[in-house]
Structure formats: structure tokens, C-alpha cells
A and B are shown apart, each in its own frame.
Chain A
């Protein structure tokens, strides 16, 4: 089982749609969780951290379920500018190694 697995995508949605991405991780000792965004041919950038209690940043909501080892990202009211690849990132164990999922490509259409 891969350390971090994401929905393969791609997702094509119309503007205004709600879209959800899912991610699972294999290391139960993982400590920190993030969603990164990567635009075409650019470096990844932090979108938001993921907390056990769930957290929201505007149109974006992240959830963590430690029992199921599952992370999610919900985007409401999609904008054209949300088109990007979304990467699930997990920091596991004692070495603070960042492990990335393969990413899910989102295209928001007018």
C-alpha cells in the first residue's frame, strides 16, 4: 500500500460547483497533514493545514479522520482560478519526512 493515496482524477467541474478530494495514508503514526496546490509548471504551495477538528478557510474546508486515516478537501463555489493540481501531504513518524500523494488535477470550466 502506498504511503499516501489520492483520488486519481482528473476532475472537470463548472464554475460554482462543489468538489471534494480524498486522500488516505498508511502510517498510523503520521503527525501532520496538509493540502498543497500546484499550478502548471510551478512549485507546490501550501493551501491549508488539516486539523483533527476540521478547519475552514473561505471556500475551502479540510477534514481529518485519524481512525480511518483519511483526509479530505472540499471546495465550494468553484472559481476558474481554482484550476490546479491539489496535493495531499503527510508528515509521518519521527523523521518529519514530507510524503506527497500523486495529486488530483482540477479544471473549473466557465
Chain B
């Protein structure tokens, strides 16, 4: 059982380049989330999805887009990367109505924009 898998694990981008981060979960979870983690800032929610075909903005959505075409996949896109998007990105998933249930995280994607 793989749980939550993020690809890629590391990436270096040049300013202005685009890329897509993939998050895949095999637990049939309804909810999926994308966070970024920066030193001193904790985990900040970028976008999240409460089910297939639906997405919503989190705390820091600017510069990112997401899609949830399939229940098991949640894609995070950077259309034109900026150095301020250098961060560690974590994807997570949790069951519907995750009251007192666990959210599972991927291992993270370390992105550097130069």
C-alpha cells in the first residue's frame, strides 16, 4: 500500500519555467491538499479539493493552479515559476469528514527556482 506518492521529489527550475507536481493516493480519500513549507512559516495551505472535479483556494493560492480530474490524483501547477516559490511542497489526503481521522502526507517535493 503506497499511501500518498509525490513526484518529483526534487526539482530545480529557472525563473519563468512551468512545471506540474503530481500527488497520487491509493486510499480512496475524498480530501486532498497541497501545502508549502518554508522556514519559520510552518505549513501553509495552497489549494485543496473536497472531491473529484472540485478545488478551492487555501491561504496562499497566488501563482498556483490545481486540478482534480481523477479522485486519486491532485495536480499542482506553476505556470511561471518565481524564486519566491522555492519551497518544500507537501501533498496530503484524508477521508471524507475527517473528524478525528488521520491525514496522510507524501514525502514532499523540494523545489528550487533560480
Instruction: Establish whether residues B100 and A49, one from each chain, have CB atoms under 8 Å apart when the complex forms.
Output: yes
Cα A45 to Cα B106 in complex, Å, equals 10
CB of A87 within 8 A of CB of B43, answer yes
> What are 6 sample pairs from A and B whose C-beta atoms fall under 8 A apart?
A95-B50, A95-B56, A96-B31, A96-B97, A98-B33, A98-B94
Question: Is B60's CB within 8 Å of the partner chain A?
Answer: no
Q: Are B100 and A46 in contact (CB under 8 A)?
A: no
**Chain A: interface residue count, which band?**
20 to 34
B 10-40 binary contact with A (CB < 8 Å = 1; else 0): 0000000000000000000001010100001
**Contact flag A43-B103 (CB < 8 Å), given A95-B50, A102-B41:** no
* Chain A neighbourhood of B107, CB < 8 A: 42-43
A-B contact number at CB 8 A: 55
Q: How far is the CA of A42 from the CA of B35 in the complex (A)?
A: 14
CB-defined contacts of A98 to chain B, threshold 8 Å: 33, 45, 92, 94, 98, 103
B45 touches A43 (CB 8 A): no
Q: Nearest residue in B to A91 (C-beta to C-beta)?
A: B98
CB <8 Å contact, A100 and B58: no
| Interface status of A26 (Cβ within 8 A of chain B) | no
Q: A32 near B: Cβ within 8 Å?
A: yes
B94 shortest CB reach to chain A, Å: 7
- B42 near A96: Cβ-Cβ < 8 Å: no
